[in-house]
A and B are shown apart, each in its own frame.
Chain A
Amino acid sequence: MADSIQMRVTRYDPDQDSAPTVATYDVPLRKDWAILDGLNYIKDHVDTSLSYRWSCRMGICGSCGMNVEGQPKLTCATFLTDYAPGPVRVEPLSNFPIVRDLVVDIDDFMEKLPRVKPWIIRDDDVTVIDGEYLQTPTELEEYKQFSNCINCMLCYAACPIYGLEPDFIGPAAIALAERYDLDTRDAGQRERLDVLIEREGVWGCTFVGECTRVCPKHVDPAGAIQRYKLKAAQENVMAFLLPRAAR
């Protein structure tokens, strides 16, 4: 095994550059090093001005998402050796505006996520003294997969629809809406459907399916969106067939 690998990293300084450029760095190629370790090496030993987000280094915080060889990846969970002998291209997540180097502006996602109300909604609030909302393992299993989302936004970077139509509410937000809809303790399905039945909601999706393929947590946003479309379609048919009171 070679003892170093070339990393080709996107650099962008908003004060000086009109467009991003590519810088090349040689980093040690170690068996246990992830892409993120390579970036840390560059920052510690070569160029302290390199900017990128990271936190937990164990695939749970969802901060270190970047495009590695064009594929959205968590850089802490992607090994350098998988790209040997290199060079390996590291870019900011696609479909998001670049703030600096590998850091993207995530405001759009942060604004969209609360729109689907990803929390338990019900009006008969039970206090701690009354006891907890109980749930069986079978009921938990219904939504558990969707609750694994870590908001890393790799699905937004993989989604060509989001790239072309930035108004699309996007894969993770819909998967999280589905997570709460499928929770037997929740009663907020109608409120979420009001948001997602719109064009920018589930109907923006054309089932490319790339969101599910890149998801590091196997959430399957594409599945969640199609299931939501079925719900929205049923709602439309019901609205057409039934008088208001019966719904």
Chain B
Amino acid sequence: MSAPTTYRQPVSRLWWLKKRTYLMFVLRELSSIFVAWFAVFLMIMIFAIGRGEESYRNFMNWAGSPVVIVINVVALAFSILHTVTWFALTPQAMVVRGPGSKQVPAKKEVTVAGRRMTAATVVRVGGRMPSGLVIASQYVGLAVVSAFIVWLVLQ
């Protein structure tokens, strides 16, 4: 008896439009382009400042043009999306342990003289910080860094 022929289900090129969650994922991934744009924009500005007042004025005229403003507004929207979505995902990707955690004995594989063997080690367990706290601490960090930059610029 020959093996049955299976039907391979094709993946549509527009798979990312099939679910709202897929679309949000693709938008989140796209947002990195706009974050990179802001980095480039900032560098152009710094170079312009470095080259003197005339150059800086030219930069400001360019930055004030409608096209650049539209690009920056879109980039700002994507940057906010980037920040909010990645901050929200952090507690899922990272275990942050608080004061309730403790070290316990565990096993670890090591290579001794070319031979793999089990050795005693310790790992930290328990005391996982609640997701809300991890997310909130990131916003606090963002606020502190932003405040420092504002202070630096206004000096």
Contacts and interface: CB of A to CB of B under 8 A. Distances in A.
Number of chain B interface residues as a range: 20 to 34
Contact of A184 (B6, B7, B123): B123
Contacts of B109: 121, 187-191
Given A209-B89, A227-B93, A230-B93, A19 B7 contact: yes
A20 interface: yes
Given A124-B118, A138-B125, A210 B9 contact: no
Interface in A205-220: 206-210, 212-213, 220
A139 B107 CA distance: 13
Nearest to B108: A187
B150 interface: no
Interface residues of A, number: 50
Interface in B23-52: 25, 29
Contact of B18 (A19, A70, A187): A70
A143 B71 CA distance: 46
Contacts of B15: 160, 163-164
Interface in B96-126: 102, 104-109, 116-119, 123, 125-126
A99 B6 CA distance: 5
Nearest to B8: A97
A20 B102 CA distance: 55
Contacts of A138: 102, 104, 125-126
Given A139-B125, A222-B92, A227-B93, A98 B9 contact: yes
A184 B89 CA distance: 26
B95 interface: yes
Which secondary structure characterizes the binding site on chain B? mixed
A197 B105 CA distance: 25
Given A190-B109, A209-B21, A184 B116 contact: no
Given A124-B118, A184-B105, A14 B6 contact: yes
A182 to B, nearest CB: 8
B125 A208 contact: no
A15 B4 CA distance: 8
Interface of B: 4-9, 11, 15-16, 18-19, 21-22, 25, 29, 89, 92-95, 102, 104-109, 116-119, 123, 125-126
28 contacts: A14-B5, A14-B6, A17-B7, A20-B7, A70-B19, A95-B11, A100-B4, A123-B117, A138-B102, A141-B126, A142-B125, A160-B15, A160-B16, A163-B11, A164-B11, A184-B106, A187-B109, A187-B118, A187-B119, A210-B19, A210-B22, A222-B92, A223-B92, A226-B92, A226-B93, A227-B94, A227-B95, A230-B93
Interface of A: 12, 14-15, 17, 19-20, 70, 92, 94-100, 105, 121-124, 136, 138-139, 141-142, 160, 163-164, 184-191, 206-210, 212-213, 220, 222-223, 226-227, 229-230
Q: Give the 6 A-B residue pairs with the shortest CB-CB distance, closest first.
A: A226-B93, A97-B6, A187-B107, A184-B106, A223-B92, A138-B126
